Structure 1
Amino acid sequence: MHNKITKEDIKELPLKQFEGTVNVVEDPKQVTHVVEKLRNEKIIGFDTETKPSFKKGVSHDVALLQLSTEEEAFLFRLNITGFNGALTKLLSNPGIKKVGVGIRDDLRGLQQLNNFTPKGFIDIQELAPKYGIEVLSLKNLAGLLLGIRISKRQRLSNWEADALSEGQILYAATDAWVALKIYNKIKKMKPVASSPVKADQKKKSS
């Protein structure tokens, strides 16, 4: 398998988006019930969206939290529901893996809303090099590993809008879902040399 992909290669790939069920959560009273659905999952895709700022020195809070299984995506409109209780417990649960791409800023943004301790998170940008993969963006990883092209058109849209557009909803769901698909694909691969030896040594010593 190749470990890189070009923009030209990606343009040739089929455009793909999430085709499962998308739940947009805007009612604070629904959050606990929806999180219950996710508590039985072992691995979920993770991402966030923030309203872009085009003025220097102006920033916005995280507006949307996306969590996705293979079949169902959950979009929590944090600017409406707030971020606490059941959601912070879920993101602090080490028993549920949350996988995303370049998640440091996402987590920092969430911690500004509520000072919680993230546990169970896996950043694919840190995992990919162990498998000889040299691309790090979600779009490039999706192209290289899944053979699909994902749209980034909605990235700089208004995530605090009164109602999210269909384009925003599909974009947000796709990003979290694709992260999960990429992780599952990587875990079927063999790590590059030296990594397996270390794993074997750990087994012997344990």
Structure 2
Amino acid sequence: MQKTISKDDIKELPLKQFEGPVVVVEDPSQVRDIVHKLQKKDIIGFDTETKPSFKKGISHDISLLQLSTEKEAFLFRLNATGFNGALTSLMSNPQVVKVGVGIRDDIRGLRQLNEFQPKGFIELQDLAPQYGLNVLSLKNLAGLLLGIRVSKRQRLSNWEADQLTEGQILYAATDAWAALEIYNKMKQMKLVQSETKNNRNQKSS
């Protein structure tokens, strides 16, 4: 298997977005029921978005928290819902694995909104080298492992806008979903590696 992928190779891949239903959560009264549903999952994709700052010394709080299953994505607009109660409980639940890329800053930003003890998080950038992979970004991992191209065009858009555009919604959902798919692919690779190793051991014995 390839260990890296070039920009030119990624350009040739089909553009892929999350195709399932996306729920944009702005009403605080919706949060508990949605989190209750997510608490039943073993693994979910995780990401956040923050309004970009183009002036030195000025920064913004996290605007959006994205959580995705294989079939459904939820975008929590934290400036409307707040970050507390059910959401902080989910972020502290070790039984629900939350996978993402470059999540240390995401977790740090969430803890600035409301302190919690992060548990159950998996950083895909830590896993990649264990598989001999020489790529770390979501875009490169998706290209290499999933054979798809993930657009990053909306990354520097205004995540605090009164209403998110369709492009923003799809981008945000895709990032969380893609992280989950990458993790699932890595698990499959580990199973294949284990089976291959077992077969070799059986042949040599």
TM-score by length of 2: 0.92
After TM superposition, list the pairs within 5 Å mapping 1:17-56 onto structure 2. Answer: 17-56=17-56
**For 1:190, what is the secondary structure of its paired residue?**
helix
Moved over 3 A (4+): none
What amino acid sits opposite 1:178 in the alignment?
Answer: A
1:112 paired residue number: 112
1:162 paired residue number: 162
Q: How far off its partner does 1:190 sit?
A: 3.3
For 2:65 and 2:119, locate their aligned partners in 1 and report how far apart those are by CA, in whole Å. Answer: 16
After TM superposition, list the pairs within 5 Å mapping 1:49-88 onto structure 2. Answer: 49-88=49-88
2:149 paired residue number: 149
**For 2:190, what is the secondary structure of its paired residue?**
coil
**For 1:149, what is the secondary structure of its paired residue?**
coil
Between Structure 1 and Structure 2, the one with more helix by share is: 2
Q: Aligned residue pairs: how many? A: 193
* Deviations 1:159-186, CA, capped at 9 Å, x for gaps: 0000000000000000000000000000
For 1:190 and 1:30, locate their aligned partners in 2 and report how far apart those are by CA, in whole Å. Answer: 38
1:204 paired residue number: none
For 1:16 and 1:163, locate their aligned partners in 2 and report how far apart those are by CA, in whole Å. Answer: 23
Query: Over aligned residues, Cα RMSD in angstroms?
Result: 1.3
Q: Mind listing any 5+ residue stretches in structure 2 that lack a counterpart?
A: 198-205
What amino acid sits opposite 2:76 in the alignment?
Answer: F
Q: Indicate yes or no: 2:93 matched with 1:93.
A: yes
* Deviations 1:105-146, CA, capped at 9 Å, x for gaps: 000000000010110000000011001111000000000000
What amino acid sits opposite 2:26 in the alignment?
Answer: E
1:140 paired residue number: 140
* Deviations 1:45-102, CA, capped at 9 Å, x for gaps: 0000000000000000000000000000000000111100000000100001000001
Q: How far off its partner does 1:36 sit?
A: 1.0
For 2:106 and 2:3, locate their aligned partners in 1 and report how far apart those are by CA, in whole Å. Answer: 26
What amino acid sits opposite 1:171 in the alignment?
Answer: Y
For 1:33 and 1:161, locate their aligned partners in 2 and report how far apart those are by CA, in whole Å. Answer: 25
What amino acid sits opposite 1:189 in the alignment?
Answer: M
For 1:165 and 1:189, locate their aligned partners in 2 and report how far apart those are by CA, in whole Å. Answer: 36
**For 2:189, what is the secondary structure of its paired residue?**
coil
More deviation, 42-51/27-36: 27-36
What amino acid sits opposite 2:106 in the alignment?
Answer: D
TM-score by length of 1: 0.92
Q: Mind listing any 5+ residue stretches in structure 1 that lack a counterpart?
A: 198-206
After TM superposition, list the pairs within 5 Å mapping 1:119-134 onto structure 2. Answer: 119-134=119-134
1:202 paired residue number: none
